[in-house]
DNA sequence: GTTCCCATGTAACCCGTTACATGATTTT
DNA sequence: AAAATCATGTAACGGGTTACATGGGAAC
């Protein structure tokens, strides 16, 4: 049998199914604006997965010549592709999650830092979180009156990130008062 | 000069410095119990990094023969190793963070699922979060009266995870009431 | 006329994983 | 006698990255 495909394959298949007729280039843009928040993917890899999906017969690409623009490939999911996607969605078995934070890695070694340095580290972390919070707030607000189910889910996914970021900002305050002034 | 080392190298160097005289095996155990939460590392990779650190001259390993146990290597950071670690800790420049959630990947494609299925997905996610919350709560509680700075930071790091998980559990409730009954 | 957008790739690299090997000692 | 613990690795694989190549049309 086929040795299990990486989830990234489905991460590409999903949007192809959702946005039929998109080029790889358009899919990259769509990814950046939506699911890259919880499933980052580089342009190179997306094209690779697109080719794999074509080989699997799960996606077909038709060349579209246009008057005053480069020729693009219009990708569409096939019936077997949609079947595969449905099957994958049904495997709720294990939802893996990977998380790596170089901030926490440094924070964990705080005994090697001066108190001043530690507070600077926390300050940097807060700044980056605030930035993300503002981004996510804008996304959530922008999709407030979402009409399509896709946009609704996009908003709720962004909300997941927003709630996470807010909790971490609170954690910083908690830590700062636990550590006292630097 | 040396093309930038992966942060995982420092993730190993830190504990070696903190726990002088540890074997690779002991470091694996230490990792699992503490920083694996925000910086997972496999046994194989940890040993690889240990060798790299030895080649860099940042760590020295001395063989320790023991009466009735296998010979182990006792790893210790060198002055240049500690210098490198301090230098890395000072580079607050970019604290990268990677996050990938296969739950959100599926959730995002919820328009392809039945309402029943979507609620099952959320239920599974809740269960896994509750499990992690309980683990983290136990860790935080266990280190409540932490005496060493290392244990204190371990507790605060676990608290970061705990606050995150709690926020996500709340997010689930938020989503469930937004979606209505399945 | 240079720079940006559209569009699709190739090449090189390596981090990190799983599976497996080995062998002694201690516990069940 | 079998299983778990201590201890250190090798081998194979692949997912994912950055950097680069290419080439036409549009915009400034």
What chain B residue is nearest to A10 in terms of C-alpha separation? B105
Residues 19-48 in B having a C-beta less than 7 A from any atom of strand C are 40-45, 48
Rounded CA-CA distance A156/B44 in Å is: 38
Q: What is the CA radius of gyration of chain A?
A: 21
Domain check: are A143 and A82 in the same one?
Answer: no
pTM: 0.93
| Mean pLDDT (whole number) for B44-60 | 97
A/B interface, count of CB pairs below 8 Å: 180
Domain check: are A83 and A7 in the same one?
Answer: yes
Nucleotide nearest to A6 (CA to C1'): D15
Range of the domain at A77: 2-90
pLDDT band, very low/low/confident/very high, at B128 (cuts 50, 70, 90): very high
Domain check: are A173 and A147 in the same one?
Answer: yes
Buried-exposed string A62-71: b where 16+ CB fall within 10 A, e elsewhere = eeeeeeeeee
Of A68, A90, A112, the one marking the end of a domain is A90
- We report the CATH number of the domain holding residue A23 as 1.10.10.10
Instruction: List all residues 6 or more positions away from A69 whose beta carbon is below 8 Å from its beta carbon.
Output: none
| Average pLDDT taken over every residue of chain B | 92
| Mean pLDDT (whole number) for B125-147 | 92
Instruction: List all residues 6 or more positions away from A13 whose beta carbon is below 8 Å from its beta carbon.
Output: A49, A53, A58, A59, A77, A81, A84, A85
Q: Determine the pLDDT at residue A2.
A: 65
B78 is near strand C: CB distance < 7 Å: no
User: Using a CB-CB distance cutoff of 8 angstroms, which residues of chain A are in contact with residue B14?
Assistant: 105, 108-109, 112
Domain check: are A133 and A85 in the same one?
Answer: no
Domain total in chain A: 2
User: Using a CB-CB distance cutoff of 8 angstroms, which residues of chain B are in contact with residue A166?
Assistant: 167
Task: Between A92 and B49, name the one with better pLDDT.
Answer: B49
Choose among B109, B124, B170: nearest Cβ to A163: B170
**B78-CA/C23-C1' distance, Å:** 31
- Residue found by looking up tokens 């060798």 in the block: B51
Rounded CA-CA distance B127/B11 in Å is: 30
What chain A residue is nearest to B107 in terms of C-alpha separation? A153
Which segments in chain A show pLDDT lower than 70? 1-2, 67, 93, 182
Domain check: are A52 and A130 in the same one?
Answer: no
């Amino acid at each position: 049998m086929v040795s299990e495909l990486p989830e990234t394959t489905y991460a590409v298949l999903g949007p192809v199914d959702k946005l039929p007729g998109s080029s790889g280039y358009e899919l990259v843009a769509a990814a950046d604006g939506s699911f890259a928040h919880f499933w980052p993917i580089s342009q190179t890899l997306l094209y690779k997965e697109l080719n794999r999906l074509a080989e699997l017969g799960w996606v077909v690409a038709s060349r579209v010549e246009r008057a005053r623009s480069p020729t693009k490939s219009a990708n569409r999911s096939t019936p077997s592709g949609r079947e595969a996607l449905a099957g994958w969605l049904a495997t709720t078995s294990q939802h893996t999650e990977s998380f790596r934070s170089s901030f926490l890695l440094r924070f964990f070694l705080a005994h090697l830092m001066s108190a001043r340095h530690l507070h600077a580290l926390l300050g940097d972390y807060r700044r980056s979180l605030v930035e993300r919070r503002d981004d996510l707030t804008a996304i959530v607000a922008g999709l407030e009156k979402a009409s399509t189910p896709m946009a609704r889910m996009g908003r709720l996914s962004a909300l997941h990130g927003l709630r996470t970021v807010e909790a971490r900002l609170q954690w910083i305050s908690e830590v700062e008062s636990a550590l006292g002034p630097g």
